Amino acid sequence: MEQGSRNYSELIFNVIWMILGGIVIGMSLKLGFGTLKKPGTGLVPLSAGGIILVSALVLFVSKARKKGEGAFFTGHEIRMYSLMTLVFIGWVVTMPFLGYLVGTFLSMYSYSKIMRLPGWGKPFLLSLGTTLFCYLLFDVWLYMDLPRGILG
């Protein structure tokens, strides 16, 4: 009986993510997409919402077809996925205050620790490299105005 309830709970979990992906897509449509030369603020949220929606839909359909088999995710994987989602929400909410550089660095460091990257050196270097690359890509090369936050 527990096996069936586990499958049912994963289907509900995927439906929730499909709804959230749809909400993100809907909200990004209000922001505008801009052009290739000057991308608008709605482009990245639209992409993220699309990825969330499609991923959840694929998992839902494949899980619905295989009702008799075990769960897709273990308890640890669901916990890790949930923590990563909370870090992402925290990154979005705190970015205006912390700024893009500090917020992205702290988020990437949190992601690497959630994924159990050993030590402090590897997570630090991963966070630093990712933050600098994204800063160069969006602020320097694409001329997007990123939040400055506490760095002003």
- What domain range is 59 assigned to? 1-71
Looking at residue 118, its pLDDT comes to 93
Residues 24 and 86 in one domain: no
pTM for the predicted model, two decimal places: 0.60
Cα 92–chain centre separation: 10
Residues 67 and 77 in one domain: no
Residues 113 and 84 in one domain: yes
The answer to which of 33-37, 95-99, 100-104, 119-123 has the lowest mean pLDDT is: 33-37
Separation between Cα atoms, residue 75 and residue 73, nearest integer Å: 7
Separation between Cα atoms, residue 4 and residue 131, nearest integer Å: 43
pLDDT tens for each residue of 26-72: 888 877 777 767 777 777 788 888 888 898 888 888 877 776 555 66
Nearest to 7 by CA among 57, 49, 68, 52: 68
What percentage of the chain carries pLDDT values higher than 90? 25
- Average pLDDT over the chain reads 82
Local confidence band at 2 (pLDDT 50, 70, 90 cut-offs): very low
Residues 21 and 77 in one domain: no
Which of 16, 36, 71 delimits the end of a domain?
A: 71
Residues 47 and 67 in one domain: yes
pLDDT exceeds cutoff 60 at 1: no
Looking at residue 26, its pLDDT comes to 84
Which segments of 1-151 does DSSP mark as H helices, in order? 2-31, 43-65, 75-98, 100-114, 121-135
Phi, psi at residue 146, to the nearest 5°? -90, 150
37's tokens = 């030369």
* Distance, first Cα to last Cα, the chain: 57
Which of 71, 97, 127 delimits the end of a domain?
A: 71
Residues 79 and 47 in one domain: no
Residues 90 and 115 in one domain: yes
pLDDT exceeds cutoff 60 at 9: yes
Residues 4 and 63 in one domain: yes
**What per-residue string of b and e applies to 115-130 under the rule 16 or more CB within 10 Å gives b?**
eebeeeeebeebbeeb
Residues 118 and 87 in one domain: yes
How many domains does the structure of the chain reveal?
Answer: 2
Separation between Cα atoms, residue 133 and residue 140, nearest integer Å: 10
Looking at residue 107, its pLDDT comes to 94
